[in-house]
Structure 1
Amino acid sequence: MTAVLAGVIIFATSCVKDLLDQQPTTDLGANAFWKTEADATIALMGAYADVRPLFDRDYYFDGHGEYVRNRGNAVTNGNLQRGDAYHASSASSAYAPSGYGQYFDKMYRYLYGGVTRTNYVIENVQRMLPNATATSLPELERVIGEARLLRGMIYFRLISMWGDVPYFSKVINSNAEVADLARLPIGQVKDSIIADFDYAFDKLPPDASEPGRASKPAALAFRGKLQLYWACWNQFGWPELQGFVPDAAAATAAYNAAAEDFRKVINDYGLELFRGGEPGEIDPPGLAEKLPNYYYLFTPIANGDPEIIMSFAHGGTGTNQGEELMRDFAGRNHEGSQCWITPRYEIADRYQLISTGDFAPPLIPMNPATPGARTADRSAVNPQSYVDRDYRMKSTIQWDYEMSLGFASLKVTNWVPWIYKAGNQEVIINGEKYISYNTDGSNSGYVFRKFVRNTPGLGRSDGNYAWPVMRLADVYLMYAEATNAVNGPQPDAINLLNKIRHRGNLPPLSGTKTANKEVFFDAIEQERIIELIGEGHRGFDLRRWRALERVWGPPYGDAVLRIDTHGEIVSRYYQNTPERTYQQNYIFRIPPGERDRNPKLTQNTPWL
């Protein structure tokens, strides 16, 4: 922990406390700060700004699943998911489907930096409470509630990756205070997180009118999510976490507690899906003037929408607080973006048919040079093969000859057609001349449309979209999962899945998909894959469900191949992979540097 706190103290103590101890001519000193609601709110906004980079690029975690590729050509030490310390070229290792558990040493340190930043707010505002007026007391308690919610979110992330972790809830002023801090059993950390979420729920308003601030539904939703994870760990086990003993009764209790929290979020606060959950309009293949509502949910149009229960706000161009979505999801034609994140070929067959509500026959990869490939039935390079699909498909990915708007210097250039392996070329489509989508980022035949803006005025790293860390659709799905685990398919849960499917213009689930617990879980997982793709959930789902072997095959098995729309093999995963690698994917490595400095920090057993 010493190295962790070295960074923490520089970050949260020197950068805040030392500055406040000075007596500049233009700012208040420490003896004049922490006096008013405004002081507390300013400090809280600083905590939000410091915690935001710990979560607002969670989409990289989708690389731990089977449907999103995070490309890269270099290996660097540690996860770098934080502001100026982030380099996407590390994605080939840190965010690949296997072998990633050793690459998150820096995230460990930065998460603890976030803990200390929130502790700093909590402790100082608590000192203000005895002298607070009757009118200021609720506002100060609200500030503490928000800081405790943020702290709970950080510790939740820590235990979901490392299991048992050191826990502290006070301001740290020297390394000596934590140099021999041992890992606390996960159950005790979980209880402390629950206490943070309880306090937040009690003190936060039902609706936060200020953009980017949390409210009661956020506290409930995160408390429910933590209970859901706790239930999964107790149901499916976590053998890689030494000393953790699964408990079926604890799993049932946690599932029920999670369901109750989610039920309140759904029923008590007047929340609804974006644009009423309606599908909206859609253009045929090759056109993109009319895009479904699901697409716009992931653009700044949706900032402040009731579906987004909690988000981290971004400032946009010129603020130095923009989001990186365009840069990471789009190509060179879109403000010089780098297309670090792309869909894998295999996601296309997960989009169901509007006509039947079920899966279509699999697409057939074909080389477009083959005569008739562009018109053959079910050909992956035939744009018409994608007709009659879930509206979320066109909202999420682009296949050959799909269009998106290009931008340069914050202005619209022209429509850009995506054509796999034919980028930056002049093409004629329906008598119109275009320059094709320029990127070498895709090796699947697809690129993302989700998160790629279709409005000018914002640079590739200067977006102003409020990144959603909790969405109502996710709550619907988690509620269905929790109730199904205990009681099987329930009418209200089935209705919630059908609401989510409706925004893709799909018909309701058939009776065969709600007949029992097993098939309904499959339907829930299907919606989690499609609805939440690119938002960072899949890797965490696979680990909490202990589903790596289901997806990638057993240890020492044959490779799972990833292909492209042309039928070429582009990667192999889990080929003859030993059991130890699976274990290391289920639990992350405690940073060796921390253990060198703190002899009480034990290592997770797969890393010994």
Structure 2
Amino acid sequence: MKRSIAKIYLIGAVVSLAFTSGCVKNLLDQKATVELPYAQFWKTEADATMALMGAYADTRYVFDRDYMMEGHGEYTRVRGMAAPTNLVTGDAYQGNSGIYDPTNYADKWDKMYRYLYGGVNRCNYVIDNVNVMIAAANETSKPSLERIAGEAKLLRGLCYFKLISMWGDVPYISKTVNDNSEVAKIPRTPIGQVKDSILADLNYAFEKLPNKSTEIGRMAKPAALALRGKVQLYWASWNNFGWPELAGFVPNAATATAAYTAAADDFRKVINDYGLVLFRNGEPGEIDALGKAEKLPNYFYLFMPVANGDGENLLYFTHGGTGTGQGEELMRNLGTRTVESSQLWVHPRYEIADRYQLTTTGDFAPPLKPMPPTGAGRTTLNSAVNPQSYADRDYRMKASLIWDMEMSIGLTSLKSTGFFPFVYKSNSAPIVIDGVNYVTSFPDGVNSGYIFRKFVRNYPGLGRSEGNYAWPVIRLADVYLMYAEATNFATGPQADAIALVNKVRYRGKLPPLAASKTADKATFFSAIEQERIIELIGEGQRGFDIRRWRAIERIWGAPAGPGVWRLDTHGGQITRYYQNTPERTYQQNYIFRIPPGERDRNPNLTQNTPWL
């Protein structure tokens, strides 16, 4: 028998509570006795906190692998059937062929839809029960309980924000679902109403959360403000650029300006009111010579556990590490076989390399020339296979990418096996570099000539799926760039916004933007987009930026056009995207398909227009 979406909501609630507390399970199938465990459980602040941790665990699952969604952009390839699984349930929310391509992906996220609603219901479960406790609480215990409710509302708002970002209008459910009949006929709620409900949740969260959390993994006021600002920024984008694929949505220029202004106000408070600074004060740090990797820039360490709890990471999800069943799989998905037999599901595309600017000029280098490594390939000026072509680049390049002859640490059985050079199309082969014998790394699956260094651990002790890095959903650098975007669209380039973009650039050892890059809205927007591409590469942001800016045509060309080839460093044509692609496919890529199975079970759940 098919399960309705309501039942899936409840599974999310039940699984996470059982996982975190060990005292409640199989609630979905119980009858009269179901109330007794609940009544026994919801007695103390510790009970409420434990249930909140279950909500964090549930919602983490649909955010901490957003690097997979980076494949919807033009600079990251996610290959094959890379399908991370829920470490609690063992079920995958992804796994369809083509789900991470730059096109033809928006009908393949049915499981994400369901698990986001699982997170919503888990949050509703916490909110409903904590509200009962608050009503009976004394003035001493009430603030702590309100904080718990505020965190649950923040997480609920985060789930709904992702839902509207992908599907537009979605059913809004604000209370715990106990029976399928409660939601079997609920229609989609207009996106504006859902947005207002999200903002209401975040208003409450901002009011009740502390200025700073003393516990790693629990959110504070800056997280609520940053998310509230991001919701307003997306609302402004949809009203500014339009969303014609969402039936009934009418963009409004005045609404866009007001939302940009509101977003900027929230971002400004995050930036100014809480003493927050970029990781390691935004300093570039040290960088090793080309072909060496003993000294890596600070940007690399921002994505290692040493940054857990750092003030730059505003909204994030923690992982348990070894033996917890809650480890992150960044190394498994981005590392090579040389790194604990990792599988390299995710790697940079060739085209990203030209986006890294020069520290000497602050502008783009001459385009790299894809060439085979034979003949003059290794020595030709600007050749993509000449290691010297990468000299004097933005420090974030060495921290993020590995190209030919760059070194990385090998790891086997939780021990270091020393440095391995990467050479495209060379797998575990002997090589001599500067008179030293090495064996090349084993990066099976790469087809661009580059692999990621970002996110891949360079120290031993943890298995490929046992990472304990706290995955950031919103970082302070992102807030800087979103503030610049919001103020630019509202009133044009502003001095404080330009200064913040320059702070982000500085950690790459880049000089400030030239005056020509901030002369007007269009040029400054291009500079902001450039920084978002480099600063946030691999973090799952690019696809959402492309859609909210309606930039698919700008990147890939108009419908029915020749498309765009993706290349490799040797000059090979790897894949051509958007060749002869009809306009309808473009429309479908701007908005996701409401899962047909949910529509089968709910006669009032309408479909998005491009999918009819």
Give the TM interval when normalised to the shorter protein: over 0.9
Following superposition, the deviation at residue 310 of structure 1 comes to: 1.7
- Asked whether the 8 Å contact 2:75–2:351 carries over to 1, the reply is yes
Deviations 1:13-58 (A, max 9, x none): 4865656899xxxxx9433211111111011011111111110000
Structure 2 gaps of 5+ residues are: 19-23, 31-35
- Asked whether the 8 Å contact 1:13–1:173 carries over to 2, the reply is no
Match of 2:49, SS state, is helix
Q: How does 1:520-535 map to 2 (within 5 A)?
A: 520-535=524-539
Distance (Å, rounded) in 1 between the aligned partners of 2:581 and 2:395: 37
Match of 2:21 in 1: none
The answer on 1:187 being equivalent to 2:192 is yes
Match of 1:25 in 2: none
- Asked whether the 8 Å contact 1:88–1:340 carries over to 2, the reply is no
* Match for residue 265 of structure 2 among 252, 260, 269: 260
Distance (Å, rounded) in 2 between the aligned partners of 1:246 and 1:218: 28
Distance (Å, rounded) in 1 between the aligned partners of 2:325 and 2:231: 32
Distance (Å, rounded) in 2 between the aligned partners of 1:403 and 1:437: 9
Match of 1:348 in 2: 353
Following superposition, the deviation at residue 81 of structure 1 comes to: 6.4
Match of 2:122 in 1: 117
Following superposition, the deviation at residue 285 of structure 1 comes to: 1.1
* Match for residue 357 of structure 1 among 353, 358, 362: 362
Match of 2:271, SS state, is helix
CA RMSD of aligned residues (A): 1.6
Match of 1:85, SS state, is coil
Counterpart amino acid of residue 50 in structure 1: D
Once the two structures are aligned, what percentage of the paired residues are identical? 66
Counterpart amino acid of residue 564 in structure 2: V
> Could you say if the C-alpha distance between residues 140 and 87 of structure 1 is closer, same or farther in structure 2, counting changes exceeding 3 Å?
closer
The answer on 1:205 being equivalent to 2:210 is yes
* Match for residue 287 of structure 2 among 276, 282, 287: 282
Distance (Å, rounded) in 2 between the aligned partners of 1:170 and 1:452: 40
Match of 1:516 in 2: 520
* Match for residue 31 of structure 1 among 35, 39, 43: 39
Following superposition, the deviation at residue 276 of structure 1 comes to: 0.7
- Asked whether the 8 Å contact 1:2–1:598 carries over to 2, the reply is no
Distance (Å, rounded) in 1 between the aligned partners of 2:14 and 2:305: 34
The answer on 1:142 being equivalent to 2:142 is no
Match of 2:98, SS state, is helix
Counterpart amino acid of residue 156 in structure 1: F
Match of 1:468, SS state, is strand
Following superposition, the deviation at residue 479 of structure 1 comes to: 0.2
Q: How does 1:358-437 map to 2 (within 5 A)?
A: 358-369=363-374, 371-437=375-441
The answer on 1:11 being equivalent to 2:12 is yes
Match of 2:60, SS state, is helix
- Asked whether the 8 Å contact 1:201–1:216 carries over to 2, the reply is yes
Deviations 1:448-467 (A, max 9, x none): 00001111101000000000
TM normalised by structure 1 equals: 0.96
Match of 2:61, SS state, is helix
Q: How does 1:63-462 map to 2 (within 5 A)?
A: 63-72=71-80, 82-83=86-87, 84-86=90-92, 90=96, 92-369=97-374, 371-462=375-466
- Asked whether the 8 Å contact 1:235–1:248 carries over to 2, the reply is yes
Distance (Å, rounded) in 1 between the aligned partners of 2:451 and 2:425: 12
Following superposition, the deviation at residue 87 of structure 1 comes to: 8.2
> Could you say if the C-alpha distance between residues 226 and 571 of structure 1 is closer, same or farther in structure 2, counting changes exceeding 3 Å?
same
Counterpart amino acid of residue 258 in structure 1: A
Match of 2:243, SS state, is coil
TM normalised by structure 2 equals: 0.95
The answer on 1:565 being equivalent to 2:559 is no
Distance (Å, rounded) in 2 between the aligned partners of 1:208 and 1:88: 33
Match of 2:508 in 1: 504
Match of 2:489 in 1: 485
Following superposition, the deviation at residue 116 of structure 1 comes to: 0.5
Distance (Å, rounded) in 2 between the aligned partners of 1:381 and 1:41: 53
> Could you say if the C-alpha distance between residues 73 and 189 of structure 1 is closer, same or farther in structure 2, counting changes exceeding 3 Å?
closer
Distance (Å, rounded) in 2 between the aligned partners of 1:154 and 1:12: 14
Q: How many residues align?
A: 597
Distance (Å, rounded) in 2 between the aligned partners of 1:445 and 1:538: 21
Match of 1:120, SS state, is helix
> Could you say if the C-alpha distance between residues 319 and 45 of structure 1 is closer, same or farther in structure 2, counting changes exceeding 3 Å?
same
Counterpart amino acid of residue 302 in structure 2: L
Distance (Å, rounded) in 1 between the aligned partners of 2:438 and 2:95: 30
Deviations 1:107-145 (A, max 9, x none): 111111110000000000111112212221000000000
Following superposition, the deviation at residue 591 of structure 1 comes to: 0.4
Deviations 1:351-390 (A, max 9, x none): 0011100001100011112x12101100100000000100
